[in-house]
Structure 1
């Protein structure tokens, strides 16, 4: 069985966020897919099942769990399909919880049409957040995936030192409140090179800092689009690997998020 490893949201190898991609004719057993994701030990392994030339089912697994949405592994999957499937001009990815994702190519970018997963301002947020970071923040928002914490400047986002133990406890405690864990992202307005900056923390699922998180930008980009009063946003995620995302707000509560990718590895799995 062939597997690809792709660095997503970057034009350089060893930057962006690595994801594994496996294209199937039929689903494997769920337990086997989870074992493969654990063996890969990447933040996500995507499994894609072909329905028709343009229509595919997609699922995403971390080393420990199946997740409802992963942006960078969606980009990696589309990147591979556009390379490997002759005559493929667009892709429809069918998801279990978020409907259909519409994917196309434009100017060497993979363009992904997602639903906006908007974040709402929180007045009553977990007070442990105040001591989980060494710099005070401005405001807290929440969507279905994460707490979004706004800082005053891009430099603060770059400089802040998180307490991962406290962040893990906050994420685990959120399950009792909302029925599922929430990760934590910090964000601020950018400068001349990008409109907004972020960093993403998910210690509750074993990822202290995620390199580049496409899914959360369905909330980050709309937040800054509203604040900056513009529909086209360039976003930078400032992990040690770093990654670039390009967003455009669409009608009907949809968003296009674009990025580039680099193929790192093609491997054979023996099972």
Structure 2
């Protein structure tokens, strides 16, 4: 079985967020998919099931769990499909609970993904434990179905932040047990100078201490900054060690286009 590893949201190898991609005619056993993701030990492994040359289903697994939405592994999967599996210029992913993602590729290789907006709401009574998890002062706290999003005063604080990941993991898991929902993650964000916004993302309860680039959370972060800055096009940077650049545009009908580049790192043969 063929597997690809692709660096997403970057034009350089060893930058962006690496994802593994496996394209199949039928879904593998769920336990096998989870074991492959664990063995890969990447933020996400994507499994893509072919419907036809323009239509696909997609699922995403961290080393510890299946997740409902992953942007960078969708970009990596699109890169692989455009490279080796279809001559189509546009393809569609059929996603459980999220509908259809329409994806296209420009002549220069940039991949454009059309996602639903998943807005975050400002919360006045935020959990006090956030002050223990985070070491820097913050302005506002927002929440969507995926994560708490904490707005900082400046981008330097985003860069300098060293969260208490053990406490975040413990708290997120306790919340998950109480709500019987997937553990919530934590994003931090601030206005930047070279970019419109700079962010970081932490998900220790879901097997990822710091995610290099998190495409899915920009369905919430970009609408926040679009409103604050009075513009629909947002250039975002995720300031992890690897770093990644996201070209975003807020569209009508509660949709968002998130775009980026990808680089192939590896093709491998799995012996299963």
Distance in 2 (alpha carbons) for counterparts of 1:41 and 1:206:
9
* Unmatched runs of 5 consecutive residues or more in structure 2: none
Contact 1:146 1:185 in 2 (8 A): yes
Contact 2:112 2:260 in 1 (8 A): yes
Aligned to 1:156: 157
Distance in 2 (alpha carbons) for counterparts of 1:224 and 1:116:
13
- Does 221-230 or 100-109 show the bigger shift? 100-109
Distance in 2 (alpha carbons) for counterparts of 1:234 and 1:195:
5
Secondary structure, aligned partner of 2:10: coil
**How far is 1:87 from its partner?**
1.8
Which of these residues, 186, 189, 197, is aligned with residue 187 of structure 1? Answer: 189
Deviations 1:11-60 (A, max 9, x none): 11010000000000111111111111111111100000110110000000
Contact 1:133 1:160 in 2 (8 A): yes
Aligned to 1:109: 110
**How far is 1:178 from its partner?**
7.2
Aligned positions of 1:74-85 closer than 5 A: 74-85=74-85
Aligned to 1:48: 48
Aligned to 1:118: 119
Secondary structure, aligned partner of 2:188: strand
Aligned to 1:264: 265
- Does 172-181 or 214-223 show the bigger shift? 172-181
Secondary structure, aligned partner of 2:104: strand
Question: Is residue 202 from structure 1 mapped to residue 203 from structure 2 by the alignment?
Answer: yes
Aligned to 1:217: 218
TM-score, normalised relative to structure 1: 0.97
Aligned to 2:10: 10
Distance in 2 (alpha carbons) for counterparts of 1:152 and 1:177:
31
Contact 1:117 1:219 in 2 (8 A): yes
Secondary structure, aligned partner of 1:194: coil
Structure 1 residues 30 and 177, CA, compared in 2 at 3 Å: closer, same or farther?
A: closer
Contact 1:92 1:101 in 2 (8 A): yes
Aligned positions of 1:29-178 closer than 5 A: 29-106=29-106, 107-175=108-176, 176-177=178-179
Distance in 1 (alpha carbons) for counterparts of 2:121 and 2:52:
38
Distance in 2 (alpha carbons) for counterparts of 1:173 and 1:213:
23
Contact 1:126 1:170 in 2 (8 A): no
Contact 1:198 1:238 in 2 (8 A): yes
Distance in 1 (alpha carbons) for counterparts of 2:23 and 2:43:
18
Secondary structure, aligned partner of 1:77: helix
Secondary structure, aligned partner of 2:83: helix
**How far is 1:261 from its partner?**
0.4
Q: Say what the alpha-carbon RMSD is for the aligned residues.
A: 1.0
Deviations 1:120-164 (A, max 9, x none): 001111100011111111110000000000001011100111111
Structure 1 residues 137 and 185, CA, compared in 2 at 3 Å: closer, same or farther?
A: same
Contact 2:246 2:260 in 1 (8 A): yes
**How far is 1:177 from its partner?**
4.5
Deviations 1:62-99 (A, max 9, x none): 11111100000000000011111242211100111211
